[in-house]
Structure 1
């Protein structure tokens, strides 16, 4: 039966996150700091509008690119957040989460042999999708001492005549790292010098702390060579609604829409109406209380980790911390498995996010302060024994 399967699929390793949480699922008494989704409910006015759309019979297909009213609001959002104007009719496509957007972007731009530059640690899907479409993933190991920011020297060091795409993922999962404007300008100079396309995954753009968010698309000369991917999962607590979007130059979006048409048709209608309600009338007031809560939890968790002697970059975005555990002589997977077995505390091994994640673990602070305090007690007991 294996002969029916394509080699490019069987050669792909399963997600390291899913592999670990299959193990976690067998221990229902465990406390988890592993899930990468908000612990908030979707704001009630958004949920109510989604339900209302079903009750009123608005259950038809929308336009392939999404409701035009929603695309107009996304255009307004991107003008505010990214300082870039996109035509809602021709330059924005609503997708089934940011994941679909990543998939169709790579399938649209990557020919066999093209090199895709992937700074790691990073979200788990970039490398396998690149392989599935026949591209060559070229990874860059980001460094904690650089706050997990990509440097122009690191980028220049891996470029060849086959280099085509740079994937940026900031704020970053799993490190919580961000790229400030000055750092992005240096990267943009390299991108333009070598005529690269940028796919920027900005799903955590609403969850930044200490400094404002900057998109590489807003820098001079970058709009025309950048695909912006974002969505409602993280900032608006809509993970299960599966709604994202992508924006870019009309020539690119015309081709991306074609692939979206053949594979998806259109994103879920009720989800689109819920998101439309979220972007109406002072959407910042919906997002800001959640962001402030995450910032409070980040501060608590980071202080607690430092207090117990774990070196940890203080994340400036997303809702993760990425403490170093290599000093204990265990691999990140060994550390996570023993922590789960001995203290019933689940975290994600850093190796799930690429080889440069080895020696770290990912902790999510998308949990209540009460849960975080209990988790810290368990982690501290475990670390004390290892010392």
Structure 2
């Protein structure tokens, strides 16, 4: 008799779905929840989610929107007043000139990224991805049947890819570049000078577009945030992606956006119209209130993230096998842990990879983190610092105790 599950796996589910990988951030969070369900006291540093509540004025705006009847279908690219507010924000804070027609509001920045990739990439096109990268970039390229070309920044350069690396990787098939700044998972921030060097390369290759993921824009500890689209030489080829999840602690509201040329924005709107249509009406009104309310709440959260960053950096200094630069933004720390490869756990298991080490820390220290393999950096592990101070102290105390057991 045929196994029905096997039949479903091999003959019903498409090849593109079978080829996709589950994000390891989600996989590790699942493992952590399974242990917690068994009564284990797990400190979960695997998820990139602010631990703050959405500011009250934003929640109040959502309640008001429901009472005012914002419960119907909305325009696919977003309400005009929200898109105008986004355009105004980009002008005010990023010195970028866009109109409503250049803006597409999506169900989270993740959808904005996917819209752009699937609107630009043809089968066989090469997409250069700066690594360490956010886990979904490579899978989005895979869905578009593109070819990912990974460029890994060095620890000595704060994990940032250089212009020379980029120049060496470009081929006639290169269609797109993807990167984030501030970076998930490293917290690295590209300076104006570094981006200027990249622009010099791009001016020699006019066929290449760039997706600049700026979702962590507000969580910046070094001052100036530079958008690649500020460089006039490449502005028409840059798709700037941002959203409300991180800066306004609105992860569950799922509102993101992109800014691009009219042609690319129209393509993304066309694609989105066949997938989800417009983003939740109430969430859009909340996003509008967030922009109208200014950056005070965001700045307060950033002050807390900076304090936690400093706390964790001090804790990591006590762990001799962790090597890491001080993050300049976002809310992660991303140490190189390769010093522990080849060591043996008390149970006799050899640690061969960062994945092995992450699983050991989960089982022994009861701290959940994500292997760097998920981010294109197999020697590293990502820890979120978006947790209360006392949890962070306890997490790294446990980690040090567990790592000291390895021989």
Under TM normalisation by the shorter chain, which class is it? over 0.9
Structure 1 match to 2:382:
362
Please identify the structure whose Cα radius of gyration is greater: 2
Tell me if 1:26 matches 2:34.
yes
Tell me if 1:36 matches 2:48.
yes
Q: Secondary structure at the match of 2:169?
A: coil
Deviations 1:242-301 (A, max 9, x none): 0001101112211211112221210000101111111114x1112100011100100110
Query: Root-mean-square deviation (CA), in Å?
Result: 1.2
Structure 2 match to 1:62:
74
Shift of 1:12: 2.3
Q: Secondary structure at the match of 2:327?
A: coil
Tell me if 1:257 matches 2:269.
yes
Following the alignment from structure 1 to structure 2, what is the Cα–Cα distance between the partners of residues 82 and 115?
29
Q: Secondary structure at the match of 1:263?
A: coil
Structure 2 match to 1:377:
397
Q: Secondary structure at the match of 2:27?
A: helix
Residue 273 of structure 1: which of 285, 294, 303 is its match?
285
Give the TM-score normalised by the residue count of structure 2.
Answer: 0.92
Following the alignment from structure 2 to structure 1, what is the Cα–Cα distance between the partners of residues 335 and 12?
43
Shift of 1:365: 0.7
Shift of 1:228: 0.6
Structure 1 match to 2:139:
128
After superposition, where does 1:1-387 map in structure 2 within 5 Å?
1=8, 2-28=10-36, 29-88=41-100, 90-195=101-206, 196-281=208-293, 283-309=294-320, 310-329=322-341, 330=351, 331-354=353-376, 357-386=377-406
Following the alignment from structure 1 to structure 2, what is the Cα–Cα distance between the partners of residues 340 and 261?
42
Q: Secondary structure at the match of 2:203?
A: helix
Deviations 1:45-85 (A, max 9, x none): 00111122113321112222111111111111111222101
Following the alignment from structure 1 to structure 2, what is the Cα–Cα distance between the partners of residues 255 and 20?
35
Structure 1, gaps ≥5 residues long: none
Shift of 1:205: 0.5
Q: Secondary structure at the match of 2:156?
A: helix
Shift of 1:120: 1.3
Shift of 1:141: 1.6
Give the TM-score normalised by the residue count of structure 1.
Answer: 0.96
Structure 2, gaps ≥5 residues long: 1-7, 342-350
Following the alignment from structure 1 to structure 2, what is the Cα–Cα distance between the partners of residues 26 and 12?
23
Asked if the contact 2:25/2:47 (under 8 Å) is kept, the reply is no
Following the alignment from structure 2 to structure 1, what is the Cα–Cα distance between the partners of residues 16 and 203?
32
Deviations 1:317-343 (A, max 9, x none): 110000121101131111111111111
Asked if the contact 1:64/1:261 (under 8 Å) is kept, the reply is yes
Name which structure has the greater RCO, CA cutoff 8 Å, separation 6+.
1
Asked if the contact 1:306/1:312 (under 8 Å) is kept, the reply is no
Following the alignment from structure 2 to structure 1, what is the Cα–Cα distance between the partners of residues 29 and 197?
38
Shift of 1:42: 0.4
Asked if the contact 1:278/1:286 (under 8 Å) is kept, the reply is no
Q: Which runs of 4+ in 1 moved over 4 A?
A: none
Greater CA drift, 225-234 or 29-38: 29-38
